[in-house]
Amino acid sequence: MAKLRQTPSQTVGPYFAYGLSPEQYGYQQNLTSIAGSQMVEGEIEGQRIRVEGCVFDGAGNPISDALIEIWQADGLGRYAHPSDPRGSNSTFKGFGRCGTGTDPQNRFWFDTIKPGKVDSEQAPHLNVIVSMRGMLLHAFTRIYFSDEPSNAADKVLRMVPAERRNTLIATHQSGNVYRFDIHMQGDEETVFFDA
């Protein structure tokens, strides 16, 4: 009897961005997205913001088939999750998803609210997952805000070497817009975390 060998691994194909966000990619006839880049509906407590940016490869070129997911607390620092002991915020789900393939500049964007502090050890932040063609596993990172004084005391940010912390901080542009670019490799590589 022949010994079976391991099947070679495969990278994620280009299907996932429009498969996971079909409305953004124009497949809304039969499919609906469970999350999009417009995360605020109706009246919600908190400061409305837009976070936008690009995902770059090691050569500094924008990646056209990345998918960015964020999960965040609401303006009071509460997650829409049953295990959050402070109670659910039913009007704000805190989950968004956006692909880079429908924007001429290959940008992602999220219209959301600025999260509050989850606890005394964490500055307001967004949890981020990056997926794209060519990756076996998705990458995890965080987005902090340049105008947030509590960044200096954040327990996760303090574990990152000082010279790399800027790769986790969205810069305030104008009005309610923050810019956050993700660099997958190279000199400006974003800090990624193990899940």
- List, for residues 100-131, the tens digit of each pLDDT value: 887 899 999 999 999 999 999 999 999 999 98
- pLDDT bin (cut points 50, 70, 90) of residue 176 is very high
Nearest Cα to Cα of residue 66 among 1, 18, 130 = 130
Whole-prediction pTM value?
0.84
Domains and CATH numbers, the chain: 15-119+130-149+161-183 (2.60.130.10)
- Tell me the residue ranges of DSSP E strands in the chain: 48-56, 67-72, 95-99, 107-113, 126-131, 139-145, 169-172, 177-179, 182-183
